[in-house]
Amino acid sequence: MKVSLWQRRIHRAQELSHQHPFASEILGFYIHLARFQEDLYQRLSGAPPQKDHAVSISAELRPDELQNLSSRFESFLSVAESQGPKPLADLSRQLQNRGSRFWSELLQSGWAANSASEAQGLLARAFLQPYAELLRSHASLRPASTSRALCPFCNRKPVLGVLRPLGDGGARSMVCSFCLAEWEFRRIVCPGCGEENDKHLPVFTASEFDYIRVESCDTCKTYIKSVDLTKNGRAEPLVDELASIPLDLWASEHGYAKLQNNLLGM
């Protein structure tokens, strides 16, 4: 039986939670989140969008889309309340009392990436991500190498990089923080500011995660983590990036800010 992308992510999260106890709490929540997202993805797939349906950061959800999504948001908040870290659990409990009208406004704002509250926007983005991924899966994207560090589908910033085997080395790609589209991106360039001088682009790795690179920039003081699949073919980039918490701590201690947080706000 074919294993879905969601199940691969869940299995990898379970594996890493045993290997890295310091990440077990956040990975445990991710497992519950991914199960909900997979179920939502499958339910929404029952009425697939048109092949050339497009979305942009400024686009609004149609009334029928918004009604369909907001009707499922309460069950998502229940999962976040019962399984999430305390700050998210408390926020989810508060949002459950706000009602469907507020949920619709929150989801519309989250879709346009302009939520007033960062914490509320995080929850909205985590809920909406499967729908963004579904729309992207039906779009006709033409992968191309580019120095533009915004998703070619939804115009969001990348959440991580990936190095995939190519010849004797690895080709670098960016992964969108929302729809998870992947596009080729030059190796020696900062996705935050476009810096190309390798002397200003230090790379850090740790023995515990020797296949994950902290690619930082001394010009804009941002960083992004890239998962090197040439060194670890078992990795699920989205999950392994989430588990590598010590690398984020190192970057923060050295004055770098993450280019774009992941779906769990990390």
Domain boundaries, the chain: 5-137, 158-258
Report the chain's mean pLDDT, rounded to a whole number: 88
What pLDDT digit, counting tens, does each position of 111-162 carry?
987 665 688 988 999 999 999 999 888 776 655 555 568 998 888 899 999 9
Residue 250 in contact with residue 206, Cβ under 8 Å?
A: yes
Tally DSSP H helices, then E strands, for the chain. Answer: 8, 7
Instruction: Write out the two tokens for 89.
Output: 């659990």
- Does residue 65 have a pLDDT over 80? yes
**Residue 113 host element (H or E):** none
Please say whether the beta carbons of 103 and 70 come within 8 A.
yes
User: Is the Cβ–Cβ distance between 178 and 154 less than 8 Å?
Assistant: yes
pLDDT at residue 266, as a whole number: 74
Q: Which two tokens stand for residue 98?
A: 């706000």
Chain centroid, CA 86 distance in Å? 21
Between residues 211 and 136, the one the model is more confident about = 211
Tokens found for residue 179: 């729809």
Full-model pTM: 0.90
- The model's pLDDT over 24-33, given as tens digits with 9 standing for 90+, comes to 999 999 999 9
pLDDT for 214-262, tens place per residue?
A: 999 999 999 999 999 999 999 999 999 999 999 999 999 999 999 998 8
For strands 222-228 and 257-258, give the pairing. Answer: parallel
Task: Say which range, 76-85, 139-148, 167-176, 208-217, has the weakest mean pLDDT.
Answer: 139-148
